Amino acid sequence: MTELYDLVIHGGTVATASEVFKADIGIRGGRIVALATDLPRQGEEIDATGKLVLPGGVDAHCHFDQPTSDGSRMADDFSTGPLSAAFGGTTTVIPFACQMKGQSLREAVRDYHERANGKSVIDYAFHLIVTDPTEQVLGQELPALIRDGYTSFKIYTTYDDLKLNDRQILEVLALARREGALTMVHAENSDVIAWLTDALERAGNTGPRYHATARPAIAEREATHRAISFAEVVDAPVLVVHVSGGEAQQQIAAARQRGLRVFAETCPQYLFLTAADLDLDGFEGAKHICSPPPRDTASQESVWRGLQDGTFQVFSSDHAPFRYDDPQGKKVAGEKASFAHVPNGIPGVETRLPLLFSEGVLKGRISLRRFVELTSTNPARLYGLMPRKGTIAVGADADITIWDPGRQVTITNAMLHHNVDYTPYEGHQVTGWPEIVLSRGEVVIRGGECVGEAGRGAFLECGTPDTLQ
């Protein structure tokens, strides 16, 4: 008799964005084919008694093997980045394919496929980063790429090598509207940052902690307001990435109250770090330099409220990995460097889910359903990966994380699998950790080991973003 299932997960508590229920899961050909109590014991079996059975995480903001204009290299490539993600319970990553100014966007995409090809243990899609919206890019390349499954792109309002001017932002938003894509915005006012940076450096204030002074919440608020205003002019949806706290959050909440299709993402660093972490002894504060910078405890509370009240739809890592003791120098730029030359970004792809589960779900700040929604379902929906990814349902890919809700872990860098020599969360105690991770029905992580083959992860074409409120 042919078996109905290749694998059955028995006895667990399944959580989706809409319900939490006891069920067995039957898997065949990499997909979920049955969801019911007491499925027959067939094929391979996993006993999930006492465990949570969650849709694998979708980390919609991570940077792997992304060259920077100053030549600093990211520590994780498309092997170690996705591997670390998988160990942390994530089964889909959406890193960026970044166009360099003067480069064709098609060429950039080809380049990133070469970087990624044959390396990732889990499935991946790409957001684009549009830095040079020429006539060729807007008229031909971008519309064709959207049709080919690259349906979201990030634009910047800061960094000389990345930023767009206001006119260009409007052009990109208008194209996104026409072609059914989603624009993600890094919102910080470039001139405010440059002006403050110059003043700080002239005064000799160049240590890591001044990174936070040079990038104040007002600069983020202004650019957030501008991005939302432009999206309103064009009548296009927009998603503001890595929102750090109350100032920008108020702009987003007010826009959403007016019924605008404005979406927002926040990240662990805005819940678990503050600007004080940039002020550690010596140069150690450089370990926490990311942009926007972490703020203060009031901002952390504000971000928690935004996760609770729906201002934020997406919780991503913004994993942007640089080594602290890099061969090029401490945090790449060297200890003598001004904060302005330290690459912006911190690791977090493996700790994203445990931190939010422990501090959010177990401390009663968010429900388990909301946790799943923020970390898996909403990113899949907004970036056009539903119904394949982001949920546990018949027909979906069997991307599943079996979660031990009681496991106590003290986070140390030694236990993580990224290629970075530190974690910003060293010594942080959490309860809850992924135990078994399946990608398309195949166990990839079990018993603290990777048992999935490098390169088995597939490239995913994204469909039209679901930006209905």
Subset of 152-171 contacting Zn ion (CB under 5 A): none
Rounded CA-CA distance 53/75 in Å is: 31
Rounded CA-CA distance 284/185 in Å is: 29
| Nearest residue (CB) to ligand DUC, 344 versus 377 | 344
| Nearest residue (CB) to ligand DUC, 345 versus 390 | 345
Question: CB 159 → ligand DUC: shortest distance, Å?
Answer: 7
Subset of 295-324 contacting Zn ion (CB under 5 A): 318
**Whole-angstrom Cα Rg for the chain:** 21
| Nearest residue (CB) to ligand DUC, 197 versus 439 | 197
| Nearest residue (CB) to ligand DUC, 56 versus 347 | 347
| Nearest residue (CB) to Zn ion, 247 versus 318 | 318
Contact 99, 69 (CB under 8 A): no
Burial class from Cβ neighbours inside 10 Å (0-12, 13-18, 19+) for residue 362 reads middle
Question: CB 109 → Zn ion: shortest distance, Å?
Answer: 18
| Nearest residue (CB) to ligand DUC, 62 versus 400 | 62
Binding to Zn ion by residue 186, rule CB under 5 A? yes
Question: CB 66 → Zn ion: shortest distance, Å?
Answer: 9
| Nearest residue (CB) to ligand DUC, 8 versus 290 | 290
Choose from Zn ion, ligand DUC, none: what does 8 bind? Cβ within 5-8 Å by kind.
none
Choose from ligand DUC, Zn ion, none: what does 457 bind? Cβ within 5-8 Å by kind.
none
- Residue 139 in 3-state DSSP? helix
Choose from ligand DUC, Zn ion, none: what does 418 bind? Cβ within 5-8 Å by kind.
none
Choose from ligand DUC, Zn ion, none: what does 317 bind? Cβ within 5-8 Å by kind.
none
Q: Which two tokens stand for residue 32?
A: 């979920």
Q: How many CB atoms lie within 10 A of CB 203?
A: 9
User: Which residues in this chain contact ligand DUC in the complex, by CB under 6 A?
Assistant: 186, 241-242, 290-291, 318, 320, 344-345
Paired strand residues for 155: 185
Rounded CA-CA distance 77/175 in Å is: 31
| Nearest residue (CB) to ligand DUC, 188 versus 442 | 188
Residues 6+ apart with CB under 8 A from 203: none
Q: How many CB atoms lie within 10 A of CB 198?
A: 12
Question: CB 345 → ligand DUC: shortest distance, Å?
Answer: 4
Q: Which two tokens stand for residue 311?
A: 């201002």
Paired strand residues for 93: 59, 124
217-234 and 166-179 helices, crossing angle to 10°: 50
- CA distances 469 to 39, 230, 382, Å, are 36, 19, 10
Question: CB 424 → ligand DUC: shortest distance, Å?
Answer: 13
Question: CB 443 → ligand DUC: shortest distance, Å?
Answer: 31
Choose from Zn ion, ligand DUC, none: what does 333 bind? Cβ within 5-8 Å by kind.
none
Choose from ligand DUC, Zn ion, none: what does 344 bind? Cβ within 5-8 Å by kind.
ligand DUC
Question: CB 185 → Zn ion: shortest distance, Å?
Answer: 9
Which value, to the nearest 10 degrees, does the dihedral of the CA atoms of residues 319, 189, 97, 76 take?
Answer: -30
- CA distances 308 to 75, 76, 190, 269, 360, Å, are 33, 32, 31, 17, 10
Residue indicated by tokens 């942009």 = 291
- Residue 140 in 3-state DSSP? helix
| CB closest to Zn ion, residue no | 186
Question: CB 446 → ligand DUC: shortest distance, Å?
Answer: 31
Choose from Zn ion, ligand DUC, none: what does 25 bind? Cβ within 5-8 Å by kind.
none
Question: CB 320 → ligand DUC: shortest distance, Å?
Answer: 4
Question: CB 193 → Zn ion: shortest distance, Å?
Answer: 13
Compute φ and ψ for 48, nearest 5 degrees.
-105, 20
| Nearest residue (CB) to Zn ion, 186 versus 323 | 186
Choose from ligand DUC, Zn ion, none: what does 390 bind? Cβ within 5-8 Å by kind.
none
Question: CB 69 → ligand DUC: shortest distance, Å?
Answer: 13
Rounded CA-CA distance 143/179 in Å is: 7
DSSP type of residue 375: I
* Residue 320, amino acid: A
| Nearest residue (CB) to ligand DUC, 290 versus 396 | 290
Q: Which two tokens stand for residue 304?
A: 């928690």
| Nearest residue (CB) to Zn ion, 16 versus 244 | 244
Paired strand residues for 55: 400
| Binding range to Zn ion, per CB under 5 A, among 184-192, 197-205, 322-330, 442-450 | 184-192
Choose from ligand DUC, Zn ion, none: what does 416 bind? Cβ within 5-8 Å by kind.
none
Residue ranges in contact with Zn ion by CB under 5 A: 186, 318
